[in-house]
Amino acid sequence: MTLKDTIYSLLLNNPETRDSDKKLQWEVLDSLGLIDFDHLFYDDFMKAPEFESVRRCRQALQRTDLLTGECLIQPTKLIKEKRVKLSKEKGFDYQQGNFNPDTMTYEI
């Protein structure tokens, strides 16, 4: 199973990972058997810096999921609004088209 497959499976089966890259990273490490519970604790891990490749893969998978209309691995509405607001504050325009809250998709 590739990292992309692992991340997709976690996003699909663990809804809380859709809203938190840190939780997703923890689950990725756990599913790969890389967590040694004698030395790494969840609270300490949550304070560590993020893994950029996991975030980018999650972002790409959620974007594809949204554009295809499947909407199986989308974040909650609150998190989505926060991400859009943050991207606009940072001066980036990641969103294409207009978001339709009825269909939960972007329409171009």
Q: Where are the domains of the chain?
A: 3-107
CA angle 90/100/72 to nearest 5° reads 90
Distance (Å, whole) CA 84 – CA 75 = 12
Report residue 32 as tokens: 């790969």
Give the pLDDT band (50/70/90) at residue 9: very high
Q: CB neighbours (10 Å) of residue 107?
A: 9
Q: What are phi and psi of 65, to 5 degrees?
A: -60, -40
pLDDT digits (tens, 9 = 90+) for 68-91: 999 999 999 998 888 878 777 765
Distance (Å, whole) CA 68 – CA 90 = 27
| pTM for the whole structure | 0.67
